[in-house]
Amino acid sequence: ALPKRAVIAGAGYIANEFAGILHELGVKVTLVTRGDKMLRSYDQEIVERLVGISQQKGIDIRFNFQCPSIAKQADGSLLVASGDGQDVETDLVLFAIGRVPKTADLGLETAGVALDAAGAVIVDDYNKTNVDSIYAVGDVTNRVQLTPVAIREGHAFADGVFGGKPRTIDYSCIPTAVFANPPIAGVGLTEEEARAALTDVQVFKSDFRPMKNVLAGRNERSLYKMI
C-alpha cells in the first residue's frame, strides 16, 4: 500500500520525478533540499516555473532544509527534523541526493587502476584508465550520468579498440530532460551560462496555455525559451 505522506530529500532529477509520481498517486509529498535551488544545471526561469506549478498542485517544497535527524515515533510514523523548528511528520522518507560510483570490491586497487576522490575511475578522452588493458565507460567514470551518454561512450570504445577507428565524445551539448510533472528539458547553454560567457545574448520566450490544458479546463501553462 502507498504511504499517505512522504518526504523526498533532494534537488535533482530523481527527487523531482518521484515527487510528481507520488503526488499524482494521492500521496501528500514534501520535497526538501539543503540548498536554495532545484535542478541547478537547468535554466532557472524554467525551474521556477516547475517549482511554482508543483506548489500549486499541492507539493510542499522546502528550501534550506538541513534534516539533522529522523526519529521514529510511537505510532510508527517518522519525524523529520528541519533544523529550524519546521519539522515534518511522514510515513516514508526517500533520499535522492545523488550517487557515487560503485567501484568498491572490484579489485581495482590490486590492478593498479587510479580512482578519484569520489571513487570514480579516471579515464582519458578515449575511455582508457592508467592501465593500458583496462577501459571504463558510463556512470562509473562520473562524467555525465545519463544512459544515452554511457551508450555513446561504449560505441566509441568499441570503435576505437575493436574497429580501428578511435574517436572521442563531445560532452558540450547534451540534451537532457527531467520527467517531472510537468516535464522540463533543455539543450545547449542556459541563459545564465550564456550571459556569463558571451557579450551579446538575445532571449526569445513563448509562454502559453497548451490546447490540451484549455480543453481540460486546467490553468497549467508552458514556457519555452530560445537563447
Please provide the DSSP assignment of 159-198 as one string. Answer: HHHTSS-------SS--EEE--SS-EEE-S--HHHHHHH-
pLDDT tens string 6-27: 999 999 999 999 999 999 999 9
Please report the pLDDT score of residue 20 as a whole number: 97
Maximum pairwise Cα distance, the chain: 65
Confidence of residue 81 (pLDDT cuts 50, 70, 90): very high
Residues in the chain, total? 227
87, pLDDT greater than 90? yes
CA 78 to chain centre: 26
pLDDT tens string 98-136: 889 999 999 999 999 999 999 999 999 999 999 999 999
Dist. CA 31–CA 22, nearest whole Å: 11
Q: Would you call the peptide bond into 166 cis, given omega within 30 degrees of 0 as the criterion?
A: no
CA-closest candidate to residue 57, choices 11, 13, 26, 96:
26
